[in-house]
A and B are shown apart, each in its own frame.
Chain A
């Protein structure tokens, strides 16, 4: 059995184990909250010994493979697996007719066929699955399955889909009366955001093993194992208690592992053959085997009065959801509710759609609906500041939300110490952060002398020729945890036990360690709360209650909160008991405060749990003749409420900023008539170390009174604000309007061709 090993971390100095409660908040603890203990997975990941899902093997296992549609839209007339089945070593070829239970699944709406029924709606849609002795044989067998397609014209234009009423969700926001205002300045622009991919380095992978109880065991890289189970069991026609799942080593996620990928397919093959089945996508398949970030087309109109106060905002936002629903509904909710960002404005018209097309399905990715609009509203804030003759930071400061402000949904900003005031005015964390970023001098990074410090890098394209510097700012507002009335909770069990004379705390949750350092965080909380040093993490599996998803920047808040609550319960029991008499255990379910759905007509409602802010300043060097960009500095001010683990936090800010940099200047899944043109790391470019500058971070701790330890989710906000900051800096260097991301070299040089 490929049981994932328990992850142990013991700090070097283990004092005499206490048998009576000694811990509690406020007791600093080596390896506790606020410190950066070595991650339990660090050494194995660095030396290559870590078992990722793709490394798992099982004696006698078969390899599964997916036959996918080459067409973005087609009717399936017939599927003939005979030639594939005749190949020696091929154990099974399954199609939609072989799905034991429900034919569809989905995170919000069950509309994604397990295997295509009589039509395919995107290129790469699974049509049949094959199990064979080797992966190569499974691929050859897939090629031998004869599928008779009637190819149809794909519908790829999201605007046309919206016109035709073909969308997953329409969400308006109505506030005040924009048309009745008398602005001093108005800017109207259109913005385009390309399709970004999460590009996790670990491909989709897992093993399914038939279980003795007639069910099936799955070891799989996933962000939310209980949501998998809930979708999987009905498709397999099994009771949920017959599906046993454990999270296998995850090589990055960023939203790509929220939807099912290999899960149902390998389980079907295992049940059909009675043997263990492994599936592992290659890079090309991974690019079509998970959902992407929604591409967007947005039209924004921003208006201000003569004092530099926002008067109104009108926004028309069309997100392309692709062929199936995935989480588009929730992404549209975020795009609409966060459409103007962290600014006060009393007159608003927002119309946001998630269109249905034959493009690749889009769903969760870090930033989740907040990224696209952030690029638009921050570009607008710069344009309007310029129109007003105001400094861009000053213009933002004048409009920044404060404690007690209302968002455009009517949600009151109540996430800060209510007693805290700023020169008699309600405290505005954003105004404070804008002041801080202003106080950090723009770094005097010399224009590079070595080619690796210049735009174009080792390509040796410039030795300084054509290089101009620019500086730009970006601010992002992201909701943390699940919004709009979702019952969002996490479960943790803690058992305190004497093991060979040592006090050991065992933690059991189903929370996915996707690389963010969540295992460390759980252990830190247990050390602080229980005053013990040795903490062991049990495998993350469905024997524990649901922890919810490792997404929405929520796991420190939610599973952190659950671990804290369970530790507190154990600590309470421990006051009256001696561990020598037996282990002490407690399980706790943690919920954040309730939220409400957005009103379908006005968009009003307290839809979000927690709000998190991040500010970036980017300094870039642009080779304006070749259109090549080198980001030479990113300065970031982020409010995290409480620094739980400094090293992990910095990693999140660096990583989030890098992903935002990628969207700003290089990352795009290019589709043509519904076909993906660059499903490889040769042509889907993500930033390298020569693209990502050293960062200057100023981390602010404005505690959220509602959240465990006052913390704010930190993983997503930097992904929002780094993109508009970088694009603003490129605008500053080039003087070009740049309304489309990623900014490509030809966008920066197109004007040369137009010169006489």
Chain B
């Protein structure tokens, strides 16, 4: 009855991984292990078997698909920050806020999505940009838009036997921002977070809210705020504040040990106003604030 006898499958490629998973549905996939092993160490879960994803080269690469970047689910945060900051600035900024250097070296976007915590920092920028999640099993592959991925706190559409293989994120077509509020200046789970993406080509605004609802959320009403596209001078603080109010209204926060619902709403309004001012100024030749 020791803790080390559970089988540890080590597939060499994705096809083998999917076969093994179909044959051993009890096997729990492990990527960086930064969520799973915490649960294992606390005995919150006792996996009957594990399936190691770290050897699957297919999951550890990102590719340029023209107007989007396809990020393998096993690419660690440290690489997203180092390699994708220009094309995916919102996601790279979010990746920079995750945990500590050790966690960013191991932790992956795939693990973040599969855990589906409302506080997962990877989620808001994916919502703000309308990313797609690619899911594979022995039966085939399906693609789920990120808005449809989360179904509840720590719940998603992911089925047993399925692996997240990649996330396809549209390349930035304008400035993006990610702001994460925490009670400590580093290494902190978000009290709330916000991603904003300005798409200058499509003249569209995207938002993603973290840690302020049962799942990560978008703010559709805020996205529709009327912006003076192309007319630099007409942007003003009232617009930024209205955007803040709409983002706060989209949140569904609760009181918990990390913060109160009232604080989360307030902080989201402040963050949203700041984010919109920053992206707008950046797009129109400002300081990038």
The verdict on A745 contacting chain B, using a C-beta distance below 8 Å, is yes
Q: Hey, what's the 0/1 contact readout for A457-475 against B, CB within 8 Å counting as 1? A: 1111111111000000000
Contact residues in B for A463 (Cβ distance below 8 Å): 278, 289
Nearest 3 A/B pairs, CB to CB? A457-B185, A746-B263, A459-B180
Residues 664-687 of A contacting B (Cβ, < 8 Å): 665-666, 670, 677-678, 682-683, 685, 687
CA distance A243 to B259 in the complex (A): 48
The verdict on B177 contacting chain A, using a C-beta distance below 8 Å, is yes
Q: Hey, what's the 0/1 contact readout for A733-751 against B, CB within 8 Å counting as 1? A: 0000000000011100110
The verdict on B179 contacting chain A, using a C-beta distance below 8 Å, is yes
CB distance B183 to A666 under 8 Å?
yes
Task: Considering the complex, give the chain A residue whose CB is closest to the CB of B185.
Answer: A457
Q: Hey, what's the 0/1 contact readout for A77-101 against B, CB within 8 Å counting as 1? A: 0000000000011000000000000
CB distance B289 to A459 under 8 Å?
no
Task: Considering the complex, give the chain B residue whose CB is closest to the CB of A457.
Answer: B185
Given A456-B185, A460-B177, A630-B185, A282 and B42 touching (CB < 8 A)? yes
Residues 271-289 of B contacting A (Cβ, < 8 Å): 271, 274, 278, 289
CA distance A201 to B45 in the complex (A): 24
CB distance B43 to A745 under 8 Å?
no
Contact residues in B for A752 (Cβ distance below 8 Å): 266
Q: Hey, what's the 0/1 contact readout for B7-46 against A, CB within 8 Å counting as 1? A: 0000000000000000000000000000000000111001
Task: Considering the complex, give the chain A residue whose CB is closest to the CB of B274.
Answer: A465
Contact residues in B for A690 (Cβ distance below 8 Å): 184-186
Given A460-B177, A461-B180, A746-B259, A136 and B186 touching (CB < 8 A)? no
CA distance A462 to B180 in the complex (A): 10
Complex partner residue of A746 from B1, B190, B193, B262, CB under 8 angstroms: B262
Most buried by B among A88, A745, A752: A745
CB distance A89 to B262 under 8 Å?
no
The verdict on B159 contacting chain A, using a C-beta distance below 8 Å, is no
CB distance A678 to B257 under 8 Å?
yes
CB distance B3 to A691 under 8 Å?
no
CA distance A683 to B193 in the complex (A): 17
Main secondary structure of the interface of A (DSSP, over half): loop
CA distance A463 to B259 in the complex (A): 23
The verdict on B53 contacting chain A, using a C-beta distance below 8 Å, is no
Given A463-B289, A690-B185, A753-B266, A683 and B258 touching (CB < 8 A)? yes
Residues 265-299 of A contacting B (Cβ, < 8 Å): 282, 284
- Min CB gap B179→A, angstroms: 5
The verdict on B182 contacting chain A, using a C-beta distance below 8 Å, is yes
CA distance A89 to B180 in the complex (A): 48
CB distance B42 to A284 under 8 Å?
yes
CB distance B259 to A88 under 8 Å?
no
CA distance A133 to B271 in the complex (A): 53
Beyond the given pairs A89-B1, A452-B186, A457-B186, 15 more chain A to chain B contacts, judged by CB atoms under 8 angstroms and listed by A's residue number, are A136-B43, A140-B1, A282-B42, A284-B42, A457-B184, A458-B180, A459-B97, A463-B289, A465-B274, A628-B181, A666-B184, A682-B189, A688-B186, A746-B263, A750-B262
CA distance A666 to B3 in the complex (A): 36
The verdict on A137 contacting chain B, using a C-beta distance below 8 Å, is yes
Q: Hey, what's the 0/1 contact readout for A585-601 against B, CB within 8 Å counting as 1? A: 00000000000000000
Task: Considering the complex, give the chain B residue whose CB is closest to the CB of A746.
Answer: B263
The verdict on B57 contacting chain A, using a C-beta distance below 8 Å, is no
The verdict on B236 contacting chain A, using a C-beta distance below 8 Å, is no
Contact residues in A for B289 (Cβ distance below 8 Å): 463-465
CB distance B96 to A749 under 8 Å?
no
Contact residues in A for B96 (Cβ distance below 8 Å): 458, 460
The verdict on B163 contacting chain A, using a C-beta distance below 8 Å, is no
Q: Which residues of A contact B (CB under 8 A)?
A: 88-89, 133-137, 139-140, 282, 284, 452, 455-466, 625-628, 630, 665-666, 670, 677-678, 682-683, 685, 687-691, 744-746, 749-750, 752-753
CA distance A136 to B262 in the complex (A): 41
Q: How large is the interface on B (under 10, 10 to 19, 20 to 34, 35 or more residues)?
A: 35 or more
CA distance A455 to B266 in the complex (A): 17
Task: Considering the complex, give the chain B residue whose CB is closest to the CB of A458.
Answer: B97
Contact residues in A for B186 (Cβ distance below 8 Å): 452, 457-458, 688-691
CA distance A754 to B253 in the complex (A): 19
Contact residues in A for B46 (Cβ distance below 8 Å): 136
CB distance B1 to A460 under 8 Å?
no
CA distance A750 to B261 in the complex (A): 12
Contact residues in A for B267 (Cβ distance below 8 Å): 626-627, 745, 749
- Min CB gap A646→B, angstroms: 29
CA distance A133 to B267 in the complex (A): 50
CB distance A133 to B1 under 8 Å?
yes
Complex partner residue of A685 from B1, B183, B262, B270, CB under 8 angstroms: B183
CB distance B189 to A139 under 8 Å?
no
CB distance B97 to A688 under 8 Å?
no
- Min CB gap A695→B, angstroms: 17
Given A460-B93, A688-B187, A691-B186, A466 and B270 touching (CB < 8 A)? yes
- Min CB gap A132→B, angstroms: 8
Most buried by A among B96, B183, B185, B193: B185
Q: Hey, what's the 0/1 contact readout for B160-183 against A, CB within 8 Å counting as 1? A: 000000000000000001111111
CB distance B185 to A688 under 8 Å?
yes
Q: List 27 A-B contacts (CB under 8 A).
A: A133-B2, A134-B3, A284-B42, A452-B186, A456-B182, A458-B96, A459-B180, A459-B185, A461-B180, A461-B274, A463-B278, A626-B267, A628-B183, A678-B257, A683-B258, A685-B184, A687-B184, A688-B186, A689-B186, A690-B184, A745-B259, A745-B263, A745-B267, A746-B259, A746-B260, A746-B263, A753-B262
Task: Considering the complex, give the chain A residue whose CB is closest to the CB of B98.
Answer: A458
